[in-house]
Amino acid sequence: MELESAKETPRAGSSLPGAWSPSALEQNFSKILHRLTGQEARQSNSRDVALKDLRALIETTECDRLFEGSGEPHRGTPEILGQVAKALGKYAAPYKEEEGGSDGHSEVAEKAAEVGLLFLKLLGKVETAKNSLDCPAWETGLRHLAGPIYIFAITHCLEKPWTSPKSQEVAGEVLSLLLRVTGCSSEAGFLRGENEDEKGKFIVVMGLLKPDLNKETWKNNPAAKHVFSWILQQITRPWLYQHLERILPPSLLISDDYQTENKILGVRCLHHIVLNVPAADLLQFNRAQVIYHAIFNHLYMPEHNLIQAVLLCLLDLFLILEKTMHWKGDGARTTTHCDEVLRLILTHMEPEHRLLLRRTYARNLPAFVKRLGILTVRHLKRLERVIISYLEVYDGPEEEARLKILETLKLLIQYTWPRISCRLVVLLKAILKLICDVARDPTLTPEPVKNTLLQEATDCLILLDHCSQGQVKGLLAKILLSCEDRTVVSCIRKVQQVPEGTPYHGTECS
């Protein structure tokens, strides 16, 4: 494109080079936009020429001309600039996975670095115009540029397969300059507004992302889901509820994918919504039930990272789903969603042999017992089997699963102590076997971990003794007569040294 062909005579009284008239600027930007989006855009040389011309046009145009509109029937330079910014973002967007693959990532990173430098020049012009008293139109230009430039910056400043250290650095500079120009102290302020009476750019950004977040298109741009997830995390209470209709459908869509990575991303988006939207809004139109059913089926997937994300989300969702459930004391308590999930978890835990999944289940089990409290008696038989079987299996140097199972057992004794006495012998044998295993452990388990295991097991013995009115001490006294292991004897003596009737760790059993 010949820039000179569109150049018009500068306005009277202006001797500055590059003093373009609004109509000339519109023509130049329109030609660049056509080269980036039209049929010619498929030709790399045409895009290269367009980027070169755009760089020259930005550099040679004065700030007070760059953001002026020419009025009807023209759209105005600021609006066309916004369209150019969108086109540049698409030009630097990562390819569909089946199209570019890993071979195209380096090319995308190079494009992103080149486009980022253009955005830096453009935002530099905005900043200059902002600091100048002679150019009040910069706000109009920034209003059209802010959304596309922000999406570009988030797409390339995060560490992803299509980024490189250089592209990340340039995108980070673009984001910093954008926040400075818009007068925002953070991304959250940029999206929600720095002040209560300021709207922010969240609606604008979501409007730009929307075409890439529907069922037919959301996989065409691999970055769209990550950008959506990122901006969603920036908005918290009390601002998020007003955008619920915009953010819930994409979150459900991503969560419903067949790929585990997308399931986890979608569940984390839904979890953020659960944490930051008032319960009344989630209960309206059964939205909370929709979320529950959307992620419940993920519990059948044997992926520990997915299970962890789902369980964390469900534990917070229970507080909303069961908010309106109150026991009136005139019959059996209603089975809750927490009961349903715990029943499924215990079903999966019993035969599970994969260590990562065992640790994930055990890690979250105490929270379910705390949530149900005394109602855990509904699951007592199955919990007993799971606890005994998990205490028998060595779990690696950190012993995370066995430590969490011991924590679960302590909570179980405290909440359901009237029903523990009939299980006293079985639980006592399991705990003593664990203590003996740890005392004779030939593995490389660190001593602090062994000590923690022994202390937790001893605490369980003390609780059992309280619940059985001292029966445990009587049974342990017989063991002392024949036991020669100093570690085991030390644990038993700690139990015997606790005075009768002394409350322990808040338990009411005595």
Share of the chain above pLDDT 90, in %: 61
**Tokens linked to 406:** 């011991």
Output the pLDDT for position 195: 76
In the prediction, which pLDDT does 72 show?
Answer: 43
Give 3-state DSSP helix, strand, coil % of the chain, rounded to 5: 70, 0, 30
pLDDT along the chain (510 residues), means of 10: 43 42 75 78 72 86 68 62 91 76 77 94 88 73 92 94 94 96 92 81 95 91 94 94 95 96 97 96 95 96 97 96 67 83 96 95 97 94 96 92 97 93 92 92 86 95 90 86 86 86 49
Torsion sign across C-alpha atoms 445, 449, 451, 454: negative
Task: Please report the pLDDT score of residue 22 as a whole number.
Answer: 61
Whole-angstrom Cα distance, residue 357 to residue 302? 7
CA–CA gap between residue 359 and residue 355 (Å, rounded):
6
Angle at alpha carbon of residue 418, lines to 414 and 423, rounded to 5° = 90
CA distances from 54 to 25, 32, 50, 61, 274 (A): 11, 7, 6, 11, 45
Give the per-residue pLDDT at 485: 84
The values of phi and psi at residue 326, to 5°, are -130, 130
- Give the pLDDT of residue 443: 77
- Positive or negative torsion for Cα 258, 263, 265, 270: positive
At position 88, the amino acid (one-letter code) is L
Three-state SS at 338: helix
Contacts of 372 (CB under 8 A, 6+ apart): 336, 338, 339, 342, 378, 379, 415
The pLDDT, as a whole number, for residue 11 is 40
* pLDDT score for 445: 84
- The model carries a pTM of 0.89
Q: Residue 22, preceding bond cis, omega within 30 degrees?
A: no
- Helices 105-130 and 138-157 pack at an angle, to 10 degrees, of 150
Q: Are 322 and 337 in contact (CB under 8 A)?
A: yes
pLDDT at position 7 is 43
**Angle of helix 424-439 relative to helix 400-416, nearest 10 degrees?**
150
Which residue bears the tokens 């994409």?
A: 250
pLDDT at 508 (0 to 100): 45
pLDDT in tens, 331-364: 567 889 999 999 999 999 999 999 999 999 999 9
- Go through the chain and tell me how many residues it has: 510
